[in-house]
Structures are given as structure tokens and as C-alpha cells.
Structure 1
Amino acid sequence: MDIAPVARAAVSDTVFAALVDEILSGRAAPGDALPSERELAVAFAVNRHAIREALKRVQQVGLIRIAQGGKTRIEDWRHTAGLEVLHALAISGAVPADRVLRDILALRATVAADAALLCATTATGDELARVLATADGYPAGPATVAELTSADLAFWEAVIDGTHNIAFRLGLNTLVSGISAIGVERIPALVTEYADRDNHLALARLIADRDGDRAKALTERLLAPILEP
């Protein structure tokens, strides 16, 4: 592994990021054994405590297998990792960014449609009022990408929170992180979707009216264009 010393104070998150990049980039292949804690500490020029903490985190996201008394070996992330590595995957080059982006957006469309349906069913009155208020927050005129992105995130956070589904909420965080890593500016169709104030207002009204089926159908139509070839 081509490892450079960590600048300044030893920090486990710096080591964690470097190890994740080595694995996702393919420079360290599934089945390979990582160097020992002592060797990693020397290579990174940090103390072994930082190495140990970083390795625990890498194991927690499913990228390595730590065996007591044996070698620490790299796992095949395609079979062992979860959504928590999506952000790292988006910036590592392990998979072409365009493919990562398309996969993120496909998952986003599915989750959003189900979330609209569930929110219409389970949200409290206050939560439905928040959905309506955030929909009204979409810019009515020309706006920057940052303003559109902020408005869209506020709306979908309101919808997701109205589902009372923790997995949906954590998934939203991961999807937003992955899209941000690639850059919203690279996705003109996404910006166009963010700017569609009328359909977001219509969606919010359907959810507030507890018309889950129509809310799901409108969400599917609203998010479908970005998935077209």
C-alpha cells in the first residue's frame, strides 16, 4: 500500500479516510491482508491508538475483517458494505461517478415515492403543516443552485420525518451526501426538478390531504425524468 505520513497531529479519521480510499480504489484487493497495526502506525506516522480506532471504523462499515490473533483482511465491499460507504464510493473512483450518480438517483426515486405515500398516512397535523410550509419555500422566481438545493432538502426532510421511519431518514442523509460529493451542478435535470415549484406544491397538498396513492404517483412522475437515458 502506498501510504504517506499523516500531517500534524495523529487523527483516526484521517487514517480511516486513507484506508477506505485504498480499499475502494482497488489498490488493496479483497482477500489481501492489511499491514499490522505497528506497520500502519509507522507508515502513517501516527500512534497505534489512532490506527486501532480507524481499523474499528473500517470494520464497522464492512470493508475489513479483523481476526483475533490473525491477519486483518480486506472484504469485497460489493457484498459486505452498506449505504454508509456511498459517499466514499462517490469520490474514490472505484466505480465511475456517472454510474454511482445514476444508482443514487434510482434509489432516491424509489424511496421518495414510498416516503410520500407513508407520510400521507402517518404524519401528524403539525408534520403535514411543515410539509406544506417547506413546499411553499421553493423559490417562486430565478434562484441559485444553492437556493434550490436548500429548498428541496428542506421539503424532503419534512416528508421523510413525517414517515416516522428511521431507515428512510438515515438513507436520505446518505443519498444527499453522495449527490453532494459528485456535485449537483453536474446534473442539470436535477436542478430543473428542484425548480419545479408547482409540482412540489401539488405534491405537498396531496400529502396534506392524506391522498397517499396520488402522492406516490406524482412523486414518481416528478422524479422520473432524471432517470431517462
Structure 2
Amino acid sequence: MAEQRIRRTAVSDQLFSVLRDRILSGVLADGTALKAERELAAEFGVNRHAVREAVKRLQQARLVEVSHGGRTMVLDWRRTAGLDLAVHIPDPDRPLGSHDLRRDALEMRACIGADAARLCAARRPDNAAQAIVAAAARYAEIGADLAALGAADIAWWRLIVEGSGNLAYLLAFNSLVGGTLGVGEVPTDRRAEELLDVGAHLRLAELIAARDGEAAERLARRLLSRSVPAVSQRGTV
């Protein structure tokens, strides 16, 4: 493996990124041991403190663990890492093996949104229905302005997810729309079919207001799934 030296700014962050990428790409396979602290410091031309900080972050991301013998072993990240790993992936267009992060995040969005709609229909406070219906009507008022529709879409779905009463869904929603998991960076023109379907948004709001959870779940899944195929076309996003 060619020697790779690290710039002197944010040394531990850069070293973490290099080692993370080697683990995710399989260059450092699960079950293998990282080089000793002294060897890593020499390979990258950094001090041992930077190495310790980088390895600590790898541990926190569940990419490595320290064995009883004191060696740092690479883990199978597909079995151990959590959603926080996505925070550390700077380029959502870069696939992880066979995985397209943007596509996968949009599929997750469709699943969470569908179940949030179901739960919202059952759990929403009585005064929430009017706000959800009014927010859906904004789609028709905006017209074909995709940027404005994108902003309205976030506001409308936030009402639904909050109405679901599920805190885990709400936190996942914040990550999805904030760009942490790749969805927030998807250009709105790739979601045009979903955003421009005013009738589906109005109907979904009505189903939630009527507390018809099963129908709301089905419609929400169909609506949100429309954006997945467009983003799945590699090289077009």
C-alpha cells in the first residue's frame, strides 16, 4: 500500500476519514487488526495522539473494537455501525459496495413516512388535523415552483411526523431533511413527480384527518416512493 501522508490541519479528523474509507471499501477487511499506534503514526507522518483520537472515533462509529489482547480489530460495519455512520460519509453519490446512500435513504424515508402517516391518523391531537389539511393546501397555492414546494413539503411532513408521536421517527426525519442521510441534498427536480401531485397530498391530509390509518399508510408509501426510481439512476443526480 502506497504511503499516504496527512496534512497538518485537523490531523485526527483526516486520519479518521482515511481509515474509515479503508474499512468501508474493504481494504481493511473485518476481522483484521489495525497496525499498532506507533506504525500508523509513522505511516501517515502524524503524532500518536492524533492516531489515538482517530481510533477513538472509529470505535465510537463501531467500525473497530479493542480486543482483550490489546489489538484494535476491524468490525463488519454492516453488522455493527448505526445511522450515525452516514454523518461521516461526505459524498452521498459514492456507493458503499452495492449501496447507493441517496436511494437507500429515500427508501427509508418512504417507510418512515408511511408509518408516520398511519400513526398520525391514530394519535394526532384533535387540533392537528386542521393544520395538516391547511399545510397540504399550500401545494396548490405554490404551483410549479419546485424550490418552494420542497420547503412546503418539509413543513407538511414535519406536522405528520410530529403527530405520529414517535420520537425516533422525528429524529430520523430531522436527519433525512437536514442532508445528513443524503435526502436533503437531492435536487427537487428529481422529486418533481411527487411534489407536483397536489391531489395525493390533499387526499392524504384528508385521510389523516378522518383517522383512516391504513389508507393513509398506503397512499403515503405510494407518494413517497415516486422519488426513489429517479434518484436510483446512477450519474443523473
Normalised-by-shorter TM-score class: 0.7 to 0.9
Instruction: Give yes or no for contact 2:102–2:183 (8 Å, CA) kept in 1.
Output: no
How far apart are the structure 1 equivalents of 2:114 and 2:183? 21
Counterpart secondary structure, 1:84: helix
Whether the aligned pair in 1 keeps the contact of 2:95 and 2:101 (CA below 8 Å) is no
Shift of 1:109: 1.8
Unpaired runs of at least 5, structure 2: 233-237
Distance 1:195-1:43 versus aligned 2 partners, 3 A rule: farther
Task: After TM superposition, list the pairs within 5 Å mapping 1:58-77 onto structure 2.
Answer: 58-77=58-77
Correspondences of 1:43-192 after superposition (within 5 Å): 43-44=43-44, 46-86=46-86, 88=89, 90-96=92-98, 99-138=100-139, 140-144=142-146, 146-176=147-177, 177-180=180-183, 183-185=185-187, 188=190, 190-192=191-193
Q: Distance in 2 between matches of 1:44 and 1:137?
A: 54
Equivalent residue for 1:195?
196
Across the aligned residues of Structure 1 and Structure 2, the Cα RMSD in angstroms comes to: 3.2
**How much does 1:91 deviate?**
4.8
Retained in 2: the 8 A contact 1:61–1:82? Answer: yes
Structure 2 distance, partners of 1:158, 1:3, is 48
Percent identical among aligned pairs is 41
- Displacement of 1:43: 4.6
* Post-superposition offset of 1:173: 3.8
Extract unaligned runs of 5+ from structure 1. Answer: none
Per the normalisation by structure 1, the TM-score is 0.78
Match of 1:35 in 2: 35
Tell which deviates more after alignment, 120-129 or 158-167.
120-129
Q: Is the 8 A contact 2:31 2:73 kept in 1?
A: yes
Does structure 1 retain, via aligned residues, the 8 Å contact 2:24–2:77? yes
